[in-house]
Amino acid sequence: MNSSIAFPSNAWTPCRGRWSGNESRIRRTRQLTWLTGGWTRRRIALKHNVHLRKFELRASASAENDPGVLKDAIQQVEKMRAGAIKEELTRLSISYADCFEKQELVMRLANARVKNYSSQKKTMSTSSREFKTLARMPLTKLKSTATSPKNYILVPLKINDEGPFNFILDTGSTVTLIRPSIVTDILKLTPKAARVSMALMGGGISNQNNMTINLKDVKIGDHALCNVSALLMDEQMLRGWEASADGLLGLNILSQFDVEFDFSNGVLVFYPPGAASRGECDMQDMEKLSTSEVTLGILGVKVALGGAPPELALLDLGSSLCVASPDIAKLAGVSESVLQGRAPALGGGGMGQPGAMRFVSGLIDVGMVSATSDDEAASSPAFTIKGAQFAIGDVPALRAVGCRILLGLNVFQGSKLMFCQSTKSVYQQRSNK
């Protein structure tokens, strides 16, 4: 037998008549006995390993700050066979090449289990963190019964202890509207005439006398609002109005909240104003979008349609579909056959304007531009929503405010949106669909 033995760099090497391990976490002496087929290490001092175990127990417990959990993990692992411990360490992708005793394997697996437990505990703590909310409710949609069905978000309101009444949420309206019959027949209130400057994307901008009412007590969920001003809908609005909708919830109310639209889970949450900017709500994976005021407080979001340069799009969550003018649709890459009307037609008109306009349907990619983008990088959206359906046609109300694009509800389906009127901010969950 060749007495010359070559030791690998991580093997046990002789040192002053004894053997010490280069890869061991704590230096220790061991007695080695030569047997057929290789080296077998035998523990010299049981007392030494008992002290070692206590040391590792204190160190690991201090690191994880949970000694009770580590102690339980050690007791559970000690009942396992060495082979089973190695199998679990392999599944966890944890090396045990430097473990030569079962007790070392026990400590390695116990520490791994505690680490996983602590990680899961932190994740659960973050995900279950409770934020202050003013109201939380199911995200309920009203499906229109018109020839061209539209979807609207309904918010139930209690007014002067009556109701609830279903109001359509609309970020494209600066005012709140209410049915005259509710005011006179149920609330028993007397409206008065007043000149109001307002913007309503279904009817444009106006500055004229309207019948208004002061609602002393309005509740969204359990949160009360005082002295809310509302306009009574006129006959033109009522002509195309949804029978099951009692009013329109505009920015004069929405500005008192940060509103979260969780379309994936079907939840609508109202936070205190400014909560998103202060980090007082769940903003995980949320991207702050580039926004600017379009008119009278109505917000616009910068987007890039298809291959067109980025420009401001009016954000109107009171519209079920996105809208684009023919010229911007052409720049976005919509085919000429679609623009010439050789595509499925969509019924037009907003609330109060039934069938007043006709559109053609087209699919356009929408690139959402981040608020952190500088002018040079603005042409590279933070993320892109593929194949959003657009109604392509001319909308006088959009043209009047200098916009060629309107972003409706459909572009946000399947994601999460945070609308913050008080800080003029909009956040959207990142998406690459």
Q: What is the pLDDT of residues 56-73, one digit of tens each?
A: 544 454 444 456 678 888
Residue 289 per-residue DSSP state = B
Section 17-29 average pLDDT: 43
Question: Which stretch of 7-21, 164-178, 310-324 has the lowest confidence by average pLDDT?
Answer: 7-21
Q: Radius of gyration over alpha carbons of the chain, in Å?
A: 33
pLDDT at 129: 59
For residue 15, pLDDT over 80 is answered with no
Q: Given a cut of 50, is residue 40 above it in pLDDT?
A: no
Segments of 332-382 assigned E as strands = 345-347, 358-368
Calculate mean pLDDT across residues 385-411: 91
**Which pLDDT belongs to residue 91?**
80
Q: Tell me what percent of the residues of the chain surpass a pLDDT of 70.
A: 69
Identify the pLDDT of residue 204.
53
Q: Which residue has the higher pLDDT, 61 or 328?
A: 328
Instruction: Indicate the range of 216-230, 338-352, 379-393 predicted with least confidence.
Output: 338-352
Q: Which domains does the chain have, with CATH numbers?
A: 45-127 (no CATH), 135-259 (2.40.70.10), 274-429 (2.40.70.10)
Q: In the predicted model, what is the mean pLDDT of residues 136-161?
A: 80
Give Cα separations from 51 to 82, 285, 372 (angstroms). 21, 47, 56
**Tokens representing 270?**
């109202």
Tokens encoding 27:
């230096």
The 10s digit of each residue's pLDDT in 267-299 is 999 999 999 999 899 888 899 999 999 988 899
Spatial distance between the Cα atoms of 7 and 233, rounded to a whole number of angstroms: 91
